[in-house]
Amino acid sequence: MTSQDPYQLVAKWNVPVGTEVHNVILEHNISTGNKLLRVDGTVIVKQNSILTRVGDHEFPISNLKALLSIKCTDRGDWVHTLSINGMTFKDYKNGYYQNFTTWKPEIAGREFFITFDKHRSEVFVDGGNIRTTRRFVECGTSTIFHLHRAFCEIIEQGVGGRTAMTQKLSVDNTPVPVFKDKEDGVFIVKPTGAR
């Protein structure tokens, strides 16, 4: 993109809220100050002014309060930071993953977002609660459901005699790795020509 472009993609965050994930996209042309902030495709902030290249933008994500902070360092780097409910994005997500376990399996050519609510032992697919069958098994509890004819099972078991539990998903008896977005919520854009 050139400096003539009104916007340039700078940052993208996936914000888990309960059983859903919200997409936050920031487009910011550093030279002109033009900014476009979207949440799930809806424009939340649109500014076309060189006078507003830095600053804070507060906006809602579901029932949460999000804050986008844009700063320029002494070296000329542009730092874009997202915080949620007054916490760094990283701390917010750590708290989220204490309450939910998530997976992103591909079934029948489509990626699904599966969420297990650890407190209610409920399963959600792409934000919607689904019917499951639960039974006790030798190692803990089995939660069974089907997606596009695929057999899905979440085994929940205790860890080393402690009260902590782990959840493992398998689809058609194939283990699916837990999905934890590692993004810390900070994006740095270096000035053109910088290394």
This model's pTM is above 0.85: no
Do 152 and 143 contact (CB within 8 A), yes or no?
no
- DSSP code of residue 94: H
Pair 16, 86 in one domain: yes
Residue 65 forms beta bridges with which residues?
60
**What's the longest Cα–Cα distance across the chain?**
64
- Number of domains into which the chain is organized: 2
Structural domain of 144: 105-176
- The mean-pLDDT minimum among 105-114, 145-154, 156-165 falls in 156-165
First to last CA, the chain: 18
Do 61 and 156 contact (CB within 8 A), yes or no?
no
| 17-38 pLDDT per residue, tens | 988 889 999 887 777 778 889 9
Query: Where is 97: in which H helix or E strand?
Result: helix 89-99
Q: Cα–Cα distance between 56 and 120 in angstroms, integer?
A: 36
Pair 110, 61 in one domain: no
